[in-house]
Amino acid sequence: MVYIIRVIFIVCVSLLVSCSQGQTEKESQLALMKTTNPNPTVTENNSDQDNVERIEREVESIDEIYDVAVVKGKEATLIVYKVKHMQRFRMKQIEKDLNKKLEEKYPNEQFTVSSDYKIFLEAVRLVERKDNGNLSDKQAEKRLNEIVKMTSAMK
């Protein structure tokens, strides 16, 4: 009896393992469980890419933050990030300090900063779709504006 249960258990485990081996998951599906560090993205092709990369490095330099996504549009720049687990009780202060730091260093930019996981996930999806060529510049700008509106609605 015990032998039959062991055999059934081994067969079930091997079936589960073999079924999941061929599947690949997109970066956005795992964005909440691991560090993704998506490339900073500009919704339209212009020379702002260097500036966006500088902004990303600036945000990544903060010790409490471990993952950052930056998307720059025509008017707004979306910065979403994940905070280290032990720093979560300080999220409001971290966001306030980050806003202050960015406004001092880049006074001409309009930033939308968020640590919300849903917004992070949407930003990563936008970056993926833009990088894969599934979104035109115009569509990416429209989607960015929708995400920025979501952040203001959540506050």
pLDDT tens-digit readout, 52-61: 889 989 998 8
DSSP string, 38-86: PPPEESSSSTTHHHHHHHHHHHHTSTTEEEEEEEE-SSEEEEEEEE-GG
Q: Report the alpha-carbon distance of residue 146 to residue 122 in Å, rounded.
A: 10
Question: 3-state class of 128 per DSSP?
Answer: helix
Could you tell me the residue range of the domain that residue 96 belongs to?
27-154
What element of type H or E holds 110? Answer: strand 110-114
Is the pLDDT score of 150 beyond 70?
A: yes
The answer to the question of residue 58 being in a domain is: yes
The answer to the question of residue 138 being in a domain is: yes
Q: Report the alpha-carbon distance of residue 135 to residue 142 in Å, rounded.
A: 10
Task: Return the structure tokens found at 144.
Answer: 């960015």
Is the pLDDT score of 139 beyond 50?
A: yes
| Number of separate domains in the chain | 1
- The pLDDT score that the predictor gives to residue 24 is 38
- The pLDDT score that the predictor gives to residue 48 is 74
- Tell me the average pLDDT across 100-118: 91
The answer to the question of residue 4 being in a domain is: no
The answer to the question of residue 18 being in a domain is: no
Model-level pTM greater than 0.75? no
- The pLDDT score that the predictor gives to residue 122 is 92
Is the pLDDT score of 22 beyond 60?
A: no
Q: Tell me: the pLDDT tens digits for 35-47?
A: 666 777 777 765 5
Name residue 110's amino acid: Q
Is pLDDT larger for residue 70 or for residue 4? 70
The answer to the question of residue 108 being in a domain is: yes
Name residue 135's amino acid: L
Is pLDDT larger for residue 28 or for residue 132? 132
- Tell me the average pLDDT across 124-140: 89
- Write the CATH number for 88: 3.30.300
The answer to the question of residue 5 being in a domain is: no
**Quick one: how many helices (H) and strands (E) in the chain?**
5, 4
The answer to the question of residue 40 being in a domain is: yes
Q: How confident is the model at residue 75 (pLDDT cuts 50, 70, 90)?
A: confident
